[in-house]
Amino acid sequence: MSAIILRDEIVHYEVLGRGRPLIYLHDWVGSWRYWIPTMQAASISFRAYALDLWGFGDTAKNSNYYSIEQQVSLLEEFLNEMGIGKIALIGHGLGAIVGLEYTARFPDTVDRVMAVGLPARESAIHSRLQSTPPAELADWLLGRSPITESAWAEVPKTDGRAIQLSLSNLTALNLPELAQKTDTPCLLVHGQNDPAVEPLSIDLAAALPEHVHVVSFEQSGHFPMLDEPAKFNRLLVDFLSLQSGESPRQLQLKEEWKRRVR
């Protein structure tokens, strides 16, 4: 286990590989651990870090730090403490919100961002996330299978207040507005069968700026990296392989993605 001390509290992370830095930020359900297969896929060319946010996994449980603003500050302080420069960000659910908010605040630090299961606005998030204990959320969103065991292993470590408090200050969330704050290339990934976060509407996706691109996984729920891991990892590698500043809409030029991703 790897950890650093921030604000006199333990912050847990894990790291694989060598190369340019890549940061993974987890969802409301689980922690760093379900990223392992994706980290392994990226670690051939990247130094992949997976961070436990405040209240999750083995990072400290302190309700003073559970707001989105404080989670963004955690990422900032982690990067500063570790001496990590320009990064690629991969965020899921809560982590997607934190990642985009960080990108809007520090656009020169983020080369590109992949946001998985990002809600367009507060109303796109199912109310069950706000009121359901972590174990019941895991039953609802993960199910039981060998591939979800890694996520399940971390569920008992979650402070339910970290979920509730992060959701309580999302009233100002507005994806189109957030996307306009930076020209950082951004790939939005949604599971078409996600019960927790409504996929983007066609009209909203069409209105996004050129540096933002949307890919839907037709066979996935809230965890496309677990539901369709081979496809997810291939998309991630293709996205990371783009030239710096290149729009992710270039991914559509690949015939294999035209066939495999709708």
CA distance 158 to 63: 12
Identify the CATH number of the domain in which residue 53 sits. Answer: 3.40.50.1820
Beta-bridge partners for 141: none
Q: What is the mean pLDDT of each run of 10 residues along the chain (262 residues)?
A: 95 96 96 95 95 98 96 98 96 95 93 94 90 94 89 93 91 73 91 94 85 92 96 94 89 52 46
Answer for the pair 64, 166: CB distance below 8 angstroms, yes or no. no
Give pTM, 2 decimals.
Answer: 0.94
Domain count along the chain: 1
Strand ranges of the sheet holding 20-25, from the earlier edge strand across to the other edge:
2-6, 9-16, 46-51, 20-25, 87-92, 110-116, 186-191, 212-217
Domain of 148? 2-260
Radius of gyration of the chain (CA): 17
**Burial group, residue 258, by CB count within 10 angstroms (0-12, 13-18, 19+):** exposed
Q: How many helices and strands in the chain, by DSSP H and E?
A: 12, 8
pLDDT in tens, 160-204: 999 999 998 786 777 777 777 789 999 999 999 999 999 888 888
The pLDDT value recorded for residue 252 is 59
Paired tokens of 239? 């996205």
DSSP category for residue 106: -
